[in-house]
Amino acid sequence: MNDQQTPVSDLLDAKFVAFDKIFLDPNNPRIAPENPPGYGDDKALFDNGLQEKLEERVRAVYDVANLEDSILAHGWVPIDSIIVWEHPKRPDHHIVVEGNTRTVALRALRGERLDRERKKLEKLKRTPTRFGEEMRIQQDVVDRLEKIVSQTDQLRVFPVAAKSVEELQSILPRLLGVRHISHAREWKPYATNLYILSLYERLFRARHGDKGDLRLEDDLINKVASMVSLGGTKARRNIQAASAFTHFKRDYEDKLPEGETLSDEDHYFFELILQNAYPKEQFNVTKDTLRLPKESEEVLFQWAFSKPRSGKEEDNENVFYKAESVRLWNQMATYDGKSGTNFAKQLDVDSPDEARPIRAIEAEFLQHKTQRTPIDALTSLLKALQDLKVDTLVSQQEHLTPILERIAQLIARYQKMMKAAAD
């Protein structure tokens, strides 16, 4: 196996690092700020203010509280490795490239949580009650927290075998791609796609410099695809979806109904537009698109985000009441092409104000599909019969024979009826 398949070869042997010498990664696509500092700027990487903001972001994205409770209940059990990179300009300063959530949980347990539980214990000692069990329980909590602190003062980590930023950036796609893109511990789609977009942008800027707009080039896409073990077509779509949603989020989040935001899950709208031919065509998306055309963004915003979405799904009055509406729109267009109907055309991007809620169109669409003509039914039956295999007929003849006889009887009966009507 080569290094593409064996990222463990990119790690050094485990070592122990002081807990206060490991820092969250502001370039992690799941928690990064809008303009991540990269790995070369050591001052920005280890800035206390940025680290605090990253903690807040981790807590907003992940269920850190439950992880804290689990560690408190079971102790520190480092089953999953924490992977770090020691910065060449800051000896003994380590960026956590894998394990940011666990790091935040440990920070809380070692700091704020321990302080809070100690204060509770001291208060109980000052005002003892007859119920001694309360004191014992609180003492046990403090003892367990202090044990966790002792266990993690020196944290066992695996360093990335990179002596420079360039080496790190070469290794990370293999390392994180295997863990989060194509295997079990997958990132959610937007985080994955942002990471792939960041890889592409780095390669593009290395080739063209910082001037000029980002654009898609086939050989660079294929190179990124190889780095993260994806096909070229999928890598292209991932890059496009992340870029298009990021642009949309920047320009439209402040136009949402009061109190609402665009979540990472809304990125799914853009994935589905890119995956389905009819919406892709209607929104004028090409193989080189990195953001929707302005007029298409306006239509998408009006149809999917202009009305409140915070309540129950059935109360959502937007034309698209969920991302899957985009796929349904494509299914309607396919059906229209076969059946001569016009369900999909009731959503016209050139007349967005006239669009009916897709929920209403869907009801009519489903009703029409159930009202099949005799030609539809017989054509489907003929195809099904043609697809039957000889070995299936032989192995199931006991059950199939009476069914086929019944079909033959019905066919003979219908033929007589049609012949009589013709005469």
Structure tokens at 198: 């960041």
Among left, alpha and beta (phi > 0; psi -120 to 50; other), residue 265 is: alpha
Mean pLDDT of the chain: 86
Q: Cα separation of 290 and 288, whole Å?
A: 6
Task: Say yes or no to pLDDT of 17 above 70.
Answer: yes
Strand, helix or coil at 49? Answer: helix
Q: Yes or no: say if 100 and 180 are a contact pair by the CB < 8 Å rule.
A: no
pLDDT tens-place string over residues 51-93 = 999 999 888 878 788 888 888 888 887 767 789 999 999 999 9
- The residue ranking higher by pLDDT, 184 or 306, is 306
Q: Yes or no: say if 158 and 14 are a contact pair by the CB < 8 Å rule.
A: yes
Average pLDDT over residues 43-48: 90
Q: In 10 A of CB 363, how many CB atoms? A: 10
pLDDT tens-place string over residues 260-285 = 999 888 999 999 999 999 999 999 99
Question: What local confidence, expressed as pLDDT, does residue 329 receive?
Answer: 97
Task: Say yes or no to pLDDT of 177 above 70.
Answer: no
Average pLDDT over residues 347-375: 88
pTM listed for this prediction: 0.59
Q: Yes or no: say if 159 and 84 are a contact pair by the CB < 8 Å rule.
A: yes
Tell me the pLDDT band of 362, cut-offs 50, 70 and 90: very high
Question: What local confidence, expressed as pLDDT, does residue 138 receive?
Answer: 87
Helix (H) or strand (E) holding 15: strand 15-18
- The residue ranking higher by pLDDT, 371 or 124, is 124
Burial class of residue 264 in the structure, from the number of CB atoms within 10 Å of its CB (0-12 exposed, 13-18 middle, 19+ buried)? middle
Tell me the pLDDT band of 217, cut-offs 50, 70 and 90: very high
Question: What local confidence, expressed as pLDDT, does residue 3 receive?
Answer: 39
Question: What local confidence, expressed as pLDDT, does residue 304 receive?
Answer: 96
Question: What local confidence, expressed as pLDDT, does residue 281 receive?
Answer: 96
Q: Cα separation of 95 and 206, whole Å?
A: 24
pLDDT tens-place string over residues 312-327 = 888 899 999 999 999 9
